[in-house]
């Protein structure tokens, strides 16, 4: 019975009175958030956006019926250090505050912190800190190299020039790496590292090439490391062509040497043709930029083509070189060269420079040319 009396003591009128007392502070607190008269401003920072080549910083300001000034402070960290020009808002309702930042310090071009600050006669307020990231400016660094590479004559210099693109590409330390034929060894550094120019350009020179080698360029001291596509440098056999004419018009002796010695290799005497007339015959194709483990899909650049007119083989010479010699009866005036075919290996087939050979005036090919 005693417990029953306690329950009866909490009557409905009493509970209503307690509820009213508890509600009064909450009502008073809620009313305090609404400012009906002059007060310090309220600032809210909004996400920035790109406007052409500039960045538009935006926010909202409630001036609370007083003339209010505002500006944005920004910088690489929350310490800021930079600010926009001061703007003014009339003593009216909430308004949008926006400032176009056209030129940012180089250190913060790709991203920065910023916040809105508003001030009037009764105080100041700051919006929250936000971070702007300029995705359009942040490009991944990439090595750009030539698409194709002509074969390098034996003993000559190979030059690999290119550009490092992307952010902070100037003054980057890079190194040339190589893996020689048969390309089964790991890439090793060749020579000393160098720095890219202010625009990211670079040029590596490798003297006295003796064997076909695959090259690539890599950054030094950066994580993650950046490497280029593979640049294959083919070294061709060195062919020297000499010509001896005879008293018989159109009859010539073509002879010369091949280094290193390639006894038994096929020698093709070829006539140069315009690119559209005939496909290359038994010639070496220029090597192309490769992805690691893959060949390139780039198309070859068109150049002169050659048609084979005469054949012979390389004969013994010395330990260092071999020789060839062939008598040809030229029926068509034009530029001729000698191509020496050798099997795949540390060197590729090599060809001589072209020489101009004249056919007799009565030759069929020469008559067509006159017509």
State the Cα torsion 253-254-256-259 to the nearest 10°.
-150
* DSSP summary character for residue 106: G
How far is it, in rounded angstroms, from Cα 206 to Cα 135?
Answer: 38
CB contact burial 220-250 (16+ within 10 A = b; e otherwise): eeeeeebebbbbbbbbbbbbbbeeeeeeeeb
Its pTM stands at 0.56
State the Cα torsion 68-73-79-81 to the nearest 10°.
-120
Encode pLDDT of 231-290 as tens digits: 999 999 999 999 999 989 999 999 999 999 999 999 999 999 876 654 555 555 677 778
Longest dimension (CA), the chain: 148
Domain at 42-133, CATH homologous superfamily: Immunoglobulins (2.60.40.10)
Domain at 237-370, CATH homologous superfamily: Immunoglobulins (2.60.40.10)
- Predicted pLDDT of residue 298: 38
How many DSSP H helices and E strands does the chain contain?
3, 28
Q: 303 — alpha (psi -120 to 50), left (phi > 0) or beta? A: beta
Measure the CA angle with vertex 209, ends 335 and 152; round to 5°.
Answer: 25
What parts of the chain have a pLDDT lower than 50?
1-33, 278, 295-301, 365-371
How far is it, in rounded angstroms, from Cα 244 to Cα 254?
Answer: 7
Residues spanned by CATH 2.60.40.10 within the chain?
42-133, 142-235, 237-370
| SS3 state of residue 32 | helix
Question: Do the beta carbons of residue 343 and residue 314 sit within 8 Å?
Answer: no
Kindly write down the DSSP assignment for every residue of 204-237, as one continuous string.
EEE-S--S-EEEEEEESS-SS--B--BEEE-EEP
Question: Do the beta carbons of residue 252 and residue 310 sit within 8 Å?
Answer: no
Which two tokens mark 220?
Answer: 């030094």
- Predicted pLDDT of residue 81: 87
What CATH number has the domain spanning 142-235?
2.60.40.10
* Of 164, 153, 156, residue with least CA distance to 194: 164
């Amino acid at each position: 019975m005693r417990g029953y009396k306690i329950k009866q003591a909490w009557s409905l009128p009493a509970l209503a009175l307690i509820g009213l007392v508890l509600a009064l502070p909450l009502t008073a607190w809620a009313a305090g958030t609404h400012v009906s008269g002059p007060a310090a401003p309220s600032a809210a920072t909004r996400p920035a956006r790109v406007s052409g080549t500039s960045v538009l910083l935006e926010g909202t300001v409630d001036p609370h019926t007083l003339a209010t000034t505002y500006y944005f402070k920004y910088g690489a960290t929350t310490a800021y250090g930079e600010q926009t020009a001061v703007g003014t808002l009339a003593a009216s309702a909430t308004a949008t505050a926006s400032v176009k930042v056209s030129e940012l310090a180089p250190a913060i071009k790709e991203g920065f912190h910023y916040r809105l600050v508003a001030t009037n006669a009764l105080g100041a307020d700051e919006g929250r800190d936000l971070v702007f990231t300029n995705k359009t400016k942040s490009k991944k660094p990439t090595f750009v190299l030539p698409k194709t590479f002509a074969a390098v004559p034996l003993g000559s210099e190979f030059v690999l020039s290119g550009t490092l693109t992307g952010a902070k590409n100037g003054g980057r330390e890079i190194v040339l790496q190589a893996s020689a034929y048969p390309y089964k060894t790991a890439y090793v550094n060749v020579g000393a590292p160098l720095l890219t120019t202010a625009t990211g350009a670079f040029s590596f020179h490798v003297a006295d090439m003796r064997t076909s080698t695959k090259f690539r360029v890599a950054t030094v001291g950066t994580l993650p490391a950046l490497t280029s596509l593979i640049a294959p440098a083919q070294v061709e056999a060195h062919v020297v062509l000499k010509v001896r004419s005879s008293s018989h018009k159109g009859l010539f002796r073509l002879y010369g040497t091949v280094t290193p010695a390639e006894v038994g290799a096929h020698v093709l005497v070829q006539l140069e043709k315009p690119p559209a007339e005939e496909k290359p015959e038994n010639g070496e194709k220029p090597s192309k930029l490769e992805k690691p483990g893959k060949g390139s899909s780039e198309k070859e650049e068109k150049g002169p083509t050659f048609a084979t007119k005469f054949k012979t083989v390389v004969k013994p010479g010395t330990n260092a070189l071999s020789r060839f010699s062939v008598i040809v009866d030229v029926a068509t005036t034009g530029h001729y060269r000698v191509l020496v075919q050798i099997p795949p290996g540390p060197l590729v087939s090599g060809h001589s420079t072209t020489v101009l050979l004249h056919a007799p005036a009565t030759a069929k090919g020469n008559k067509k040319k006159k017509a």
